[in-house]
Amino acid sequence: MDRFVARLDELLPDDELIRIAAELTAVPSFTGEESELADAVRLLLVSNGFHAYGQEVQPGRRQTIGLLGPPGRPALLLNGHLDMDPLGRDHPADPFVARRHGDKLYGAGLHNMKSGVAAILAAALAVARSGIVLRRSLLLEFVVGELQGGVGTRFALASGLTADAAVVPEPYSVRRVITRTAGVHKFGLVVRGRTAHTSRHAEGVDAVAVLRQVLDHLDRSDLGLHNPDFPPLPRLQIGGIVAGRGETHELSGISYLADKATALIDIRYPPPFEPDDVAVAVEAAISAVRHNFPDAKITIDNPPEPGFRIGGSAMPPMDVSPNSPIVTDIAALLPEVSDFSVTETGLALPFSYCGNDTTHLSRAGIDCCLFGPRGAGPDTEHHVLISEMRACARTLAALIVHRCA
């Protein structure tokens, strides 16, 4: 291991790591549109001696799997998602062109989580180039749809892919190794009313007005999903509202009452609660006010309509010991290969309010954690710290050698 660590500057140069991150940034990969990036990652792996192949998760929607080492159950899995968040209005210009400012690398999707994907790729390439013979294999997963509840990781697990341990380099800083996270429950709250021209307002049932009142009630409701380790959960967020005429929410007829209104909702909730607990609590809260609106139809869509691209995979909480072997390994290796050290393990608030693919991996019996590069300051979600991306990549490379060689 000491000899490998001494060669990391040669095997994993900064300029190559930054180039990989920039190339990932250059390929837009919004949810449902990840295939081009998956193909680019697969070609990179194949050209560097990896066995790599695509998995078609849905028709025309591909993710990439890579393997290095001998046959048999992999000792280590590195998992990163290819889908990226939608861009906000405040995103810098030229979002798909990576730009360096000191220790910060800016670009769309780098925060969540193309910098983590770059760290995985750079670490794996460094090990492949080192000439070290792996006794057990390394499994790489570059998955789709993490933002939809983890559809890609669930697909990979269902196809039989597994490992002894896994790391998912989500953007919560290399100073943290997180093993306890919230669950994520996404659904659509739909009100169907009756359209009428504004001149005959009293003859209709305004779906927007009903939805507003139901949302106010839901926001005030105590869903009973409490854990003192996770204040202030449960947390309800209304991420989007659309209303209009007909089942497609036609927007042009604003002289008429909307007869369909949909709110897209994200609820974060703590362990030990499960998706069914949340569904029951939400249904009870809404049922308590349905009688107030006898002429409206109020329903819960779980999953929401496919056109919203939210997905429907349940993403329960992860609640794993902070003293697990994979956490111990990372905490020991990080200061050997970088100037960083781990200062938080297990629960790290507010970062543990996240939901991610570790929940699916841990429930499949894989010892796993979150450990990945992050930015700093008020524009954190627009960049990554190169120093953290380097530290993550070097730690993952050392972890591969430690676990697989």
53 and 165 inside one domain: yes
- pLDDT tens track for 69-104: 999 999 999 999 999 999 988 888 889 999 999 999
C-alpha angle 54/76/402, rounded to 5°?
135
**8 plus 33 within the same structural domain:** yes
Q: Based on the domain organization, do 173 and 36 belong to the same domain?
A: yes
Segment 151-192, tens digit of pLDDT: 999 999 999 999 999 999 999 999 999 999 999 999 999 999
| Of 308, 332, 350, the domain-final residue | 308
> Within this chain, do residues 33 and 157 fall inside the same structural domain, yes or no?
yes
Percent of the chain at pLDDT > 90 equals: 93
Task: Provide the CATH number for the domain around residue 15.
Answer: 3.40.630.10
| Same structural domain, 283 and 370 | no
Residue 37 or residue 253, greater confidence: 37
Q: Which of 262, 282, 308 is the last residue of a domain?
A: 308
- Do residue 9 and residue 128 come from a single domain? yes
Query: Do 301 and 332 reside in the same domain of the chain?
Result: no
Domains held by the chain: number:
2
Per-residue pLDDT, 2: 81
Q: Are residues 148 and 286 in the same domain?
A: no
Q: Give the domain CATH number at 243.
A: 3.30.70.360
Entry pTM? 0.93
Examine the pLDDT at 372 and tell me if it is beyond 80.
yes
Percentage, residues of the chain above pLDDT 70: 100
Q: Place 53 in a pLDDT band, splitting at 50, 70 and 90.
A: very high
- pLDDT for 303-356, tens place per residue? 898 889 887 788 999 999 999 999 999 999 999 999 999 999 999 999 999 999
Report the pLDDT averaged over residues 32-38: 97
Q: Are residues 256 and 335 in the same domain?
A: no
pLDDT at 212: 96
Q: What is the mean pLDDT of the chain?
A: 95
Quote the domain boundaries for residue 92. 2-181+317-404
